[in-house]
Chains A and B, each alone.
Chain A
Amino acid sequence: MVLKSLTGNYAVALAVKMARVDVVAAYPITPQTTIVEKLAEYIDGGELDAIMIRVESEHSALAAAYGSALAGARAFTATSSHGLLYMYEWVNWVSRARVPLVMAIVTRTIGPPWNIWTDHSDYYEQRDTGWIQGFAMDSQEVFDMTLQAFKISEDPRVYLPVMIGLDAFILSHTSMPVEVPEQELVDEWLGARTQGFIIDGSEALIHGALSSPEYTEEFIKDMGKAMEEAVEVIREVDYSFGRTFGRSYGGLVELYKCSDAKYHLVLMGAWAGDAMEAVDTLREQGYSIGVVRVRYTRPFPGEELYKALSSSKGVIVVERGVSFGSMGPMFLDIAGNMLKYSRKLPYMRNVIAGVGGVNVTYKDFEYIAKETIDYIESGEEPSVMTWYHARRSK
């Protein structure tokens, strides 16, 4: 084990290298570029024995990665925002084909106006595509999650592609210490690639042919089943990763100071660190609050969240994205999924913040939490959905 100082993007690239991918196909877009550049450097420098397909678009990036994965190669791509939207047809294709593959999404605001800072709209818009979706908080987790993504994707119970989200700049371009394990240990833990089928000419196989509604329904239903199985697989992978490398995250969600908390901040991504900082201060001021950090949004951790939140006095879901005309995508998921376990939901509030990359600090989290708690403690209820706007008049 060595300690390295890595940006989020370099942590992705290093994990991809240590997973010994065979093919990388990618197209540059800020803020994803340094992942691709680093991988090109590894490949051209002989550190990674892989083929890089320098495609002419993101649509082709995922298409080419898909082709190589079908042919039995461990494949990887990465993109952001407009690139992700441009490859959207392929995002859906790959999962429906049940082909293991890993993609990093450096989350970035969608234009117009042009904006390169982080929000989670690009990531959220993929939620119905059939990909397993994870979101990391810091460089170490980016590294770990990327390695785990290959293991989860290639698990015979799953065979679905995995995307890992990380925030533009505040994570992608910020250096943090990362524990890098020995290559032999990674090889041993990850193992060789497995996949449902390989098309390499060794037998005549046809994939994707015109199908009847009845067959198609079976395929799609099976994806749902694989997603359900993935819940257990993610937990297992987190556990075995911990046994091998000494780090576990608690499965699909991470709980911070939740054991005795009456109130809960729920969120995902790099700013969860700021929320945790706020919670530390709030605790000193006598507020009973914890952070529920969502690590995976597909499969959605309904059970974990129900357990963590069902007896909460107030749940505050803070999100860097909104489903226009409705509410925050994660809030909707939480509310809907909790109904699977009980008809009685705790008081829940949805705060939309940081959209367009607006900086949100621990002070903002403190403010949001206090406001909510003070309302509830005084017997009032603030509105269920609010925008926490940086340019608000104070």
Chain B
Amino acid sequence: MSSTPTLPRDMRNTVLPGHAACHGCPIPMGLKVVGAVFGDKVILVVPACCTSVVLGMHPGTAFNGSVIHVAFASAAAVASGISAGLFKRGVRGVQVVAWAGDGGTADIGMASLSGAAERNDDFIYVMYDNEAYMNTGIQRSSATPAGAWTTTTPLGKKESKKDVTKILIAHGVPYVATASIAYPHDFYNKLKKAAGIRGFKFIYLHAPCPVGWRFDPSLTVKVAKLAVETGMIILYEYYDGKIHISGPSRPLLDKSRRRPLIEYLKFQGRFHGISEGELRNLESYVDSSWEWVKKFMQ
């Protein structure tokens, strides 16, 4: 990645203080980076999710750009429409960003997302992944990892996490990347790169939620870092038919440099009491994710 951008100055007037997020919420952390890249020349398309609440109540909004709130399944479809409308009217220099949760992406929004990706419509889709339906009170989504407690999986989720990034790679779109709220510069660079490419761009953003994951709100960044350092979340880009591993994850190609998974899990109440078997399960999920990434680095 190129030079380190001056994030703070650009971030100051993006997410406005006094919004409605919980303590330590990862969402404004991510939105600040979006704001840092595009200023107010951005149109966010937000389906039903925590962000609909975080940004606060009419007649004000805590984001210094345009925001269109839309029905739960439709972030990608509306973004396609806006992008087409702007293009037809000759409006340039405004970035359309669909900003959707894991539920709005991996579950109910999957069809419209896949449609927009297949059509290669020109916008950036960010899936911020807090690994459950938080808006409605911590129900499991298909992106909830195995073993995690949610209110609809009181004994822990049995199924593995759906890896939406892989699905998007399979669409053959020009740019796919993973990012984490713990690495804002990395996310910044990926957004910048995506903005320079015409067509459909997908960025996955890992976003630990203190409320839903049951950890202390001061630890949001720490937990997000641990997800990367244990190898649970792998930061990479996919373009030109290849995976390009990103700085924070690069050393972890060497498995011995990954922290033990339990260091990530132990801060999170949602994993309390997971069995040995479930832990092994998660560990092998991590291993196979890495194997897959390595294959596509060739």
Do A206 and B74 contact each other (CB < 8 Å), given the known contacts A65-B81, A73-B84, A73-B88?
no
| Residues on the A chain within 8 Å of B118, using CB | 56
| Residues on the B chain within 8 Å of A53, using CB | 80-81, 84, 119, 121
Do A93 and B70 contact each other (CB < 8 Å), given the known contacts A53-B84, A75-B85?
yes
- Asked if residues B55 and A209 are in contact (CB atoms below 8 Å), the reply is yes
| Residues on the A chain within 8 Å of B18, using CB | none
Residue from the list B45, B53, B63, B73 in contact with A67, Cβ < 8 A: B45
> In angstroms, how far is the closest chain B Cβ from the Cβ of A72?
5
A 52-74 to B, binary, CB cutoff 8 A, 1 in contact else 0: 01111101110111111111110
Q: Is A237 on the interface with B (CB-CB < 8 A)? A: no
**Which of A71, A200, A211, A215: most chain B CB closer than 10 A?**
A71
| Residues on the B chain within 8 Å of A204, using CB | 40, 64-66
In the bound complex, CA of A50 to CA of B85 (Å): 10
Q: Is B211 on the interface with A (CB-CB < 8 A)? A: no
In the bound complex, CA of A292 to CA of B61 (Å): 50
Residue from the list A55, A60, A210 in contact with B52, Cβ < 8 A: A210
A 206-221 to B, binary, CB cutoff 8 A, 1 in contact else 0: 1111111001000000
CB-based nearest B residue for A68: B85
> In angstroms, how far is the closest chain A Cβ from the Cβ of B91?
5
In the bound complex, CA of A203 to CA of B91 (Å): 13
- Asked if residues A23 and B115 are in contact (CB atoms below 8 Å), the reply is no
- Asked if residues B112 and A60 are in contact (CB atoms below 8 Å), the reply is yes
> In angstroms, how far is the closest chain B Cβ from the Cβ of A23?
5
- Asked if residues B58 and A73 are in contact (CB atoms below 8 Å), the reply is no
- Asked if residues A67 and B85 are in contact (CB atoms below 8 Å), the reply is yes
Residue from the list B81, B87, B89, B121 in contact with A63, Cβ < 8 A: B81
Do A54 and B119 contact each other (CB < 8 Å), given the known contacts A63-B71, A68-B81, A73-B89?
yes
Q: Is B41 on the interface with A (CB-CB < 8 A)? A: yes
- Asked if residues A210 and B89 are in contact (CB atoms below 8 Å), the reply is no
- Asked if residues A210 and B56 are in contact (CB atoms below 8 Å), the reply is yes
Q: Is B197 on the interface with A (CB-CB < 8 A)? A: no
In the bound complex, CA of A141 to CA of B82 (Å): 31
A-B contact count (CB 8 A): 168
- Asked if residues A60 and B70 are in contact (CB atoms below 8 Å), the reply is no
> In angstroms, how far is the closest chain A Cβ from the Cβ of B95?
8
In the bound complex, CA of A86 to CA of B10 (Å): 42
CB-based nearest B residue for A212: B57
| Residues on the B chain within 8 Å of A200, using CB | 43, 85-86, 89, 91, 94
CB-based nearest B residue for A209: B58
Q: Is B68 on the interface with A (CB-CB < 8 A)? A: yes
In the bound complex, CA of A72 to CA of B82 (Å): 9
> In angstroms, how far is the closest chain A Cβ from the Cβ of B28?
15
Do A201 and B80 contact each other (CB < 8 Å), given the known contacts A71-B86, A210-B56?
no
- Asked if residues A63 and B41 are in contact (CB atoms below 8 Å), the reply is no
Residue from the list A51, A54, A63, A210 in contact with B78, Cβ < 8 A: A63
In the bound complex, CA of A134 to CA of B70 (Å): 27
- Please report whether the interface of chain B is mostly helix, strand, loop or mixed according to DSSP: mixed
B 71-110 to A, binary, CB cutoff 8 A, 1 in contact else 0: 1011011111111111111010110000000000000000
Q: Is A199 on the interface with B (CB-CB < 8 A)? A: yes
Do A71 and B112 contact each other (CB < 8 Å), given the known contacts A23-B88, A206-B63, A207-B67?
no
- Asked if residues B111 and A68 are in contact (CB atoms below 8 Å), the reply is no
Task: Give chain A's interface residue range (CB within 8 Å of chain B).
Answer: 35 or more
> In angstroms, how far is the closest chain A Cβ from the Cβ of B18?
14
In the bound complex, CA of A299 to CA of B55 (Å): 35
In the bound complex, CA of A50 to CA of B89 (Å): 10
- Asked if residues A50 and B78 are in contact (CB atoms below 8 Å), the reply is no
In the bound complex, CA of A65 to CA of B74 (Å): 12
> In angstroms, how far is the closest chain B Cβ from the Cβ of A25?
6
CB-based nearest B residue for A23: B84
| Residues on the B chain within 8 Å of A212, using CB | 57-58
Report A26-61 residues with CB < 8 Å from chain B CB. Answer: 50-51, 53-57, 59-61
- Asked if residues A60 and B77 are in contact (CB atoms below 8 Å), the reply is yes
Q: Is B11 on the interface with A (CB-CB < 8 A)? A: no
CB-based nearest B residue for A61: B77
- 28 contacts across the A-B interface (CB closer than 8 A): A23-B84, A23-B88, A55-B77, A55-B112, A60-B111, A63-B74, A63-B81, A64-B84, A67-B84, A68-B88, A70-B85, A71-B85, A71-B86, A71-B91, A73-B84, A75-B85, A89-B71, A199-B66, A200-B85, A200-B86, A201-B93, A203-B66, A205-B66, A206-B66, A209-B67, A210-B55, A211-B57, A212-B57
Residues of A within 8 A of B (CB): 22-23, 25, 50-51, 53-57, 59-61, 63-73, 75, 89-90, 93, 199-212, 215
Excluding A199-B43, A200-B43, A209-B58, 6 further A-B contacts by CB distance (< 8 Å) are A23-B85, A63-B70, A75-B81, A90-B74, A210-B69, A212-B57
Q: Closest 9 A-B residue pairs measured CB to CB?
A: A67-B81, A71-B85, A201-B94, A56-B115, A68-B85, A208-B69, A60-B77, A64-B81, A63-B77
